[in-house]
Amino acid sequence: MKGNFLPITREEMKERGWDQVDFVYVSGDAYVDHPSFGHAIITRLLESRGYRVGIIAQPDWRKPESVQVFGEPRLGFLVSAGNMDSMVNHYSVSKKRRKTDAYTPGGEMGKRPDYACVVYGNLIRQTYKKTPIILGGIEASLRRMAHYDYWSDKLKRSVLLDSGADVISYGMGEHSIVELAEALDAGIPVEDITYIAGTVVKAKSLDSIYDAEILPSFEDLKADKMNYARSFYTQYLNTDAFNGKRLVEPYSDHLYVVQNPPAAPLTQMEMDDVYSLPYQRTYHPSYEAKGGVPAIKEIKFSLISNRGCFGGCSFCALTFHQGRIVQVRSHESLIEEAKEITKDKDFKGYIHDVGGPTANFRHPSCKKQMEHGVCKTRQCLFPSPCKNLDADHRDYVSLLRKLRDIPKVKKVFIRSGIRFDYLLADKKQEFLRELCEYHVSGQLKVAPEHVAGPVLSLMGKPEHKVYEEFTRQFYKMNERIGKEQYLVPYLMSSHPGSTLKEAVELAEYCRDLGYMPEQVQDFYPTPSTLSTCMYYTGVDPRTMQKVYVPKSPHEKAMQRALIQYRNPELYDLVIEALHKAGRSDLIGFGPKCLVRPRQMRGSGNDKKTGRNEPKKGSRGSNGQKRQNNSEYRGRVEGKNKKKSIRNVHSKKNRK
């Protein structure tokens, strides 16, 4: 037996004196016993309720015997693709195979199959014909109903049907998995466990389902994308535990997929209990020979303080998975975990993060939510903060101060996302000062995503002027406290609604900022987001209005190239994009130009692109003199080395 890890072999099971396990958890990730990993939370929670759990991490899906390690479990198999959708884990947005997998020992790629939930489910069903199979995790949660699959470019059925599983435990799963375990332990046949909140089940008829909203059938969804848009938006409006309805998706006259309302959010006491379970906080020792599991590096010295997000970004799946109601841990729980972190032999005095989906959300957005749920058709922050929004950072500031005071803690960083519009809604500015003074190390990454109004509106992000105001206040605060720190904006290309016109607008913003990002995120159509629905259907499901969608790889490459217009390798794409956008005025030698015109070779021009390259100390490619006092030379990690970035901010943002 390896320390206090749960058993991963039959021998370890027998060392515990067990003849059989109650549940076998099959995971697409390596076994990391840390609360940042879903398999660790679910298995430890079941263990705390007295159930015997064995873990099969990354079984060889080509061999049925790989899921027979413990034999048949007494109650059932639990199956998860891992912390990521297996297709996102395997492929970039351009559908190219990734080279490494941070959730596998040594970062080795290829240790889990594509569509892992489906493959694992069928692999188990080959041997164990009647044993209950329960799917969970992000992949199953976001594919629980009919969904658009970007990688095959088609509509797919509920993963429940294609996997051969009996139940999906969707969302974070703590409540539903315990209820499922208790029902199975009580001897209730799995086909009769159809009533648990936070689950999706199959039904042969609707005779006993009297309170559900019937969605369009799968055949209707395939026949007309508008049916899918309407169906998806109905699902989107029913993601709240307090007011969400039971939904039924017909597949035939004798087969229905039934989604029960979401499970209730965890109370603070329940959150504390979940995170106080006896995690080993690292990967299983058997992975040491391969160098461990890379993903642990990002979270080993971080604290999860909350879950859920009322930010409502269209391209994010959090609404479908964690929900919009923020759930938090107590200060005492977080301080206790932080003290445990300081005892680790590798701890250097730095807590890397205190946050969650959004770091500065430490309570529900308004008092009504815990009684009535979230508003179905209104967002808390978009298009502007709701008048009922409780924008108050005092609890978070108090927590951060307590963590800073712990012996051996030198610095507490905040690396989760900061919602700058929520920060601005808090007029006290106490958190902004604390953030700049204690929790930023040179640069703060924020996510304005875009600057063009039509794109921001479809993204569910605030107007660009809100980000400009945050920028102004950030630099003003740093000037007040005597620090020189900078913002690094995350930008997204090719989101639905972005034509070349909007892409040029974003490029001009980068020009005026003097900043060319080393990496740009192309919009990635992952399952069950509003933006993915727009991508597939060509309409905004909230309004059913048409939306322009850049789909061709070439146009997406042009939009991305415009943001990185200074890269000589992208010169031809930038020139083509500017001509197609009718913005050839940005090709020239003037101060507002993005690139110089192509000139004859042999006149000192760059041989590869025909582009004049500036000499050191001369004007840059946009014709503007480089200002040493106003530019930021930071360092960010590239693939294997650090690369220089610039982040120039105009004087108006510093005033």
Distances (CA, A) of 233 to 12, 226, 230, 312: 47, 11, 5, 14
Q: Has residue 166 been placed in a domain?
A: yes
The domain that contains 161 carries what CATH number?
A: 3.40.50.280
Gap between the Cα atoms of 427 and 507, Å rounded: 32
Structural Rg of the chain based on CA atoms? 26
Q: Is residue 159 part of a domain?
A: yes
CB 139 within 8 A of CB 325: no
- Note whether residue 243 is domain-resident: no
Model confidence pLDDT, tens digit, residues 508-562? 999 998 888 877 899 999 999 999 999 999 999 999 999 999 999 999 999 999 9
Residues 6 or more apart in contact with residue 10 via CB below 8 angstroms: 69, 70, 71
Do 307 and 184 lie in a common domain? no
Annotation: binding site for [4Fe-4S] cluster: 309, 313, 316
Range of the domain at 106: 10-201
| pLDDT recorded at residue 132 | 98
In a domain, 188, yes or no: yes
State how many domains the chain has.
3
pLDDT tens across 547-574, in order?
Answer: 999 999 999 999 999 999 999 999 999 9
pLDDT in tens, 271-290: 999 999 999 999 999 999 99
Final residue belonging to a domain, choices 576, 596, 616: 596
Q: What is the mean pLDDT of residues 23-37?
A: 98
HEC letters along 499-562? CHHHHHHHHHHHHHHCCCCCCCEECCCCCCCHHHHHHHHCEECCCCEECCCCCCHHHHHHHHHH
- At position 30, the amino acid (one-letter code) is A
Q: Identify the domain boundary among 388, 418, 441.
A: 441
Joined together, the tokens standing for residue 401 give: 């101060």
Q: How confident is the model at residue 655 (pLDDT cuts 50, 70, 90)?
A: very low
Same domain, 585 and 490: yes
Q: How confident is the model at residue 3 (pLDDT cuts 50, 70, 90)?
A: low
Q: Are residues 48 and 182 located together in one domain of the fold? A: yes
* Banded model confidence at residue 617, pLDDT cuts 50, 70, 90: very low
Burial 434-464 (b: 16+ CB within 10 A, else e): bbbebbbeebbebbbbbbbebbbbbbbbbbb
- Does any domain span residue 24? yes
Q: Which residue positions form the known binding site? A: 309, 313, 316
- Give a yes or no: residue 635 inside a domain: no
Give every CB contact of residue 225 below 8 A, 6+ residues apart in sequence. Answer: 536, 537, 538, 539
pLDDT for position 636: 32
Domain end position, chosen among 159, 178, 201: 201
**One domain for residues 431 and 515:** no
List the CATH number of the domain containing 365: 3.30.750.210
pLDDT the model gives residue 355:
94
- 609 or 313, greater pLDDT: 313
What is the pLDDT confidence band of residue 441, given thresholds at 50, 70 and 90? confident
Residue 209 counted as domain residue: no
Average model confidence (pLDDT) for the chain? 91
Q: How far is CA 207 from the centre of its chain?
A: 38
Residue 537 lies in a domain: yes
Do 516 and 398 reside in the same domain of the chain?
A: no
| Contact (Cβ atoms closer than 8 angstroms) between residue 430 and residue 393 | yes
133 and 41 in a common domain: yes
The Cα diameter of the chain in Å comes to 84
Strand 199-203 relative to strand 167-169: parallel, antiparallel, unpaired? Answer: antiparallel
Q: Are residues 427 and 486 in the same domain?
A: no
Residues in the chain: 655
The whole-model pTM stands at 0.90
Looking at the fold, whether 493 and 436 belong to one and the same domain comes out as: no
Contact between 306 and 315 (Cβ < 8 Å)? no
Is there a single domain that holds both residue 20 and residue 69? Answer: yes
180 and 134 in contact (C-beta within 8 Å)?
A: yes
Q: Compute the C-alpha angle 17/19/25, nearest 5°.
A: 100
Q: What is the mean pLDDT of residues 196-209?
A: 95
